[in-house]
Every structure is written in C-alpha cells, then in structure tokens.
Amino acid sequence: MSIPLTPYDDKRRKIMLVVLSVSLSSLLGWSIYNYESKGELLKRIDQLQQSNLTLSERKIKLEIQQQALFSDIVDQQQAMALHQATANELQTELTALQNQVIGLNKELDFYKNITNGNTTSDLHVRAFILDEAPDDDLKYHYRLVLSQGKKISKSLSGKVNIKLTGKKQNEKVTIHIDDHKLNLRHVQVLQGRLNYNDAFKPEKIHVTITQKKKTTLNTTMDWNTIINPPQNR
C-alpha cells in the first residue's frame, strides 16, 4: 500500500533532484577540467624533456668543439715554439758558419801570401786560433800556425812552448799549455787543447820557439783579441 505524497514532499524531492543534478554537473566539470589540466601538464613535461634532450645534445657538441679548439690552440703554440727553436738553431748555425768563413778567409790570405812569396825569411807565428770545446765553456781547441819565408829551403827543427798567463784572485798566474816539436818547412800547424778553471782570468798567450838551446822567437798575443778577432779583413 503506497503512501500518498503531500505537496511538501513533492517540493522537497524536486529540490533534492536539483541539488543532486548540480552536484553531478560540478563533479563532471571538475573531472573534465582535471583531465584536461593533467593532459596539458603531461604535454608540457614531454616538451621540457625534449628541450632538455636538445640542450644536452647541443652541450655535448659545444664541448667537442671546445676541445677541438683547445687542441688546435695547443698545436699552434707547439708549432710556434718549434718554429722559434728552429729559427734560433738556424741563427746559431749561421753565426758559426760566418765565423768559420772569417777564419777560412784569414787562412786563405795567409796561404796566398805564402804562395806569392810575400812573407819574409823570418820565423813567424801566423795565427793562434781558438775554438770552444762543445762539452765545456772553459775548454778550447787551439791551432797554432807557424811559417817561414820561401827563401829558406831547409826544414827548421826545435821546440815550441805555449803558455797562458792571467790572474787568479788578483795574483798573476802562468799556466803551461803544451810543448811541441818544431819541424817547419814553410808552414807548420800545431794543435792541442787549452783549459782553465773559472777562477782564472786569462790575459795573454805566449809562444816561445827554441832552437839549439837558443830562443829564436818569443811572441805574446792578447787573449781578448784572439777570442774576438777583428771582423775586417
């Protein structure tokens, strides 16, 4: 048996239906909005991830380019250093060759004089040449060139003594360099090694020739002139 509805009950039912309808509409609208917002958020996240990936790839490329540029700079610096070292070495060799040419020109002039008969009949020290030893700045290879005039036809014999004088701690010191046998006919070249310690300051080279216990030649040469010979011929 059904209970008849009063006008009040009918009105209340309509109100409840309206409220329920509004609630369902709001819930549906919120769900749709939330779904759309979440989709936009996921889309934005995907875009950010793609941008991050692109930037990471760009960063790697830039790092590779930077490393290549740095390697190029290092290579250029090494090439410049090698070029400078080569230029310095060539300049050193050129200077050495120029000095050799100067020395050879002097020897050539000397031998021309011998050939042309321009020398006298006397015994002479024609040259005393020093070349630095490559293994020690305080050691030298020396060449002593002796000559006599063309008018003398026989060989000269005797003894050649070489000494170096200078100062050590303001005291005069004499260093014996070498003794050679004299066996001269026109030209004789004597060679040897000369060395001294760093406390000694050389000043003069002395060459003495003795024949039959008699001094026939005594020549003194300035050390600085020998080390730095005049450039003009």
> Could you report the per-residue pLDDT of 122-172, keeping only the tens digit for each?
788 888 988 887 766 668 889 998 888 666 667 889 999 999 999 998 899
User: What is the Cα–Cα distance from 93 to 43, expressed in whole angstroms?
Assistant: 74
Q: Which of 30-39, 47-56, 168-177 has the highest mean pLDDT?
A: 168-177
Ranges of each domain in the chain: 7-118, 120-227
pTM of the model: 0.50
Cβ(121)–Cβ(151) below 8 Å? yes
User: What is the Cα–Cα distance from 10 to 21, expressed in whole angstroms?
Assistant: 16
Ranges 26-30, 32-36, 195-199: which has the least confidence: 32-36
Q: Specify the 3-state DSSP secondary structure of 55.
A: helix
How many Å separate Cα 77 from the centre of its chain?
12
- Reading the block at residue 226, the tokens are 């020998």
Helix (H) or strand (E) holding 95: helix 7-116
What's the pLDDT score for residue 233? 44
Site of tokens 């509004």 = 22
Q: Tell me, what DSSP letter sits at residue 151?
A: T
Q: How confident is the model at residue 119 (pLDDT cuts 50, 70, 90)?
A: very low
Residues contacting 89, CB < 8 A, separation 6+: none
Average pLDDT, the chain: 79
Strands 156-168 and 171-184, by their bridges, are antiparallel
Strands 214-222 and 124-132, by their bridges, are unpaired
User: What is the Cα–Cα distance from 157 to 160, expressed in whole angstroms?
Assistant: 10
Q: What CATH class does 120-227 carry? A: mainly beta
Average pLDDT on 67-93 reads: 86
> Residue 215's beta-bridge partner residues?
210
